[in-house]
Structures are given as structure tokens and as C-alpha cells.
Amino acid sequence: MLSKGPKRGIETYVLDRKRYGEELSSKIYELVKDKADFIVLAGYLSILKGDLLKEYRDKIINLHPSLLPKFGGVGMYGDNVHRAVLENKEKITGCTVHFVDEGVDTGRIILQRFVSVDDGDSIEDIKNKVQREEHRAIIEAIKNWRCLMRALISVFNKEGIYEFAKFLSDRGVEIISTGGTFKYLKEKE
């Protein structure tokens, strides 16, 4: 995969977690600052922090192999998740795409995809089912994020609308509003 980027003019970096240790987030931030609009984590097992999280708030997504908030947090990755699903006799599992925040698997959920856990399923069976959905989910999440460039906001009840409009605007979404909503938003600025 890393060989495809340079062939398409995309800068590619490999950062050794052991080498950078506690400075890994700072190094990533140094490399992506003013270059990346969005960061996608899939199979990434380090905790991000610092300026990277501040500057890329709601612009970093992670793919997790369970239906969060179930089976998330420290130590919940790979087979550990699927083992927990079996041990808890879950009938449904799946994957979650969520925004990355300061916690571990605690960011706001973007989307989830579900699979059934059938009698006799092994950890490997569950992993295979979930991975098929993970591949679909991450693409769906990226497409959905990239297409939200403009939002029309026109509401009767204005409660919470300024905060919502600001949230979207802070993330680069152009806000279009009409009549009373436009006037209300302008007065709140």
C-alpha cells in the first residue's frame, strides 16, 4: 500500500512508534499540519493527543471492530474484541466508525454496521464477518464526510441552532440560511 502513494504524487511517511514514543502525536502533527484535511485511522493502536487532536478536532476518524460503546477502550482491539463478544454471548456485533477524541474509543459515533453472531461462530468467523463490514463502513464514512460542504439551515424553533451552525462552520461547512434563521444567526455572531 505504501508504494502506491508516491506513484500518485502522495507523500508517504512511516513513523516508528517505539522511536517516537510520547512524541508520536507531535511528529504526526508536524507532518500533516496544513497538508491534510482529514485523518483516517484503521488498525492504528496508539493514543493521539496534543495539538494534533486540538487542530484536527472532528477531522480524525477511527474504525473499531465492535458496536461501541460495547467492547471499546484500553486493550479492546483485534481478537480481544471478538473474544469478548463470544464470552458475553452477543447475538449481534459489528463495527463502528467514530471521531477520535482524548479518550479511547469514546468519540462521537459516525456510523455502525452490524453482523450476526451465529451459534458455533469462532473468533475467526466473527473477525471475518466484521472485517467485511469494516471495509464498507470506512469508505461510506469518508464519502459522507467529504460530501458535506454546504448546509441549509432554516428552522422555526431556534433553540440550539446557533451552536449547531457554529459546529458545522468550524468544520469548513458553508452555512446557508433563510429569513428569520439568517437574522437569528447574524445577531448571535
Give the rounded percent of residues in the chain with a pLDDT score beyond 90.
Answer: 49
Out of 64, 82, 98, 135, which one is annotated catalytic? 64
Give the residue from 114, 115, 110 showing the smallest Cα distance to 138.
110
For residues 79-89, average pLDDT: 98
Cell of 50: 496534543
Per-residue pLDDT of 28-50, as tens digits, reads 999 888 888 788 887 788 889 99
Q: Going by C-beta distance under 8 Å and a sequence separation of 6 or more, which residues neighbour residue 16?
A: none
**What whole-number distance in Å separates Cα of residue 159 and Cα of residue 178?**
16
- What's residue 161's pLDDT? 75
Task: Report the pLDDT value the prediction gives residue 149, as an integer from 0 to 100.
Answer: 58
Known catalytic membership, residue 64: yes
Report pLDDT for 189: 79
Considering only CA atoms, which of 174, 111, 157 is closest in space to residue 165? 174
- What's the pLDDT at 84? 98
* Bridge pairing between strands 60-64 and 92-99: antiparallel
pLDDT band of residue 3 (cuts 50, 70, 90) is low
pLDDT of 183 strictly over 60 = yes
What are the beta bridge partners of residue 60?
A: 39
pLDDT of 121 reads 98
Q: Could you read off the pLDDT of 116-167 as tens digits, one per residue?
A: 999 999 999 999 999 999 989 988 888 777 655 566 676 666 677 787 777 7
Instruction: Return d(Cα 57, Cα 170) in angstroms, integer.
Output: 10
* Cα distance between residue 100 and residue 60, in whole Å: 6
Q: What is the mean pLDDT of the chain?
A: 85
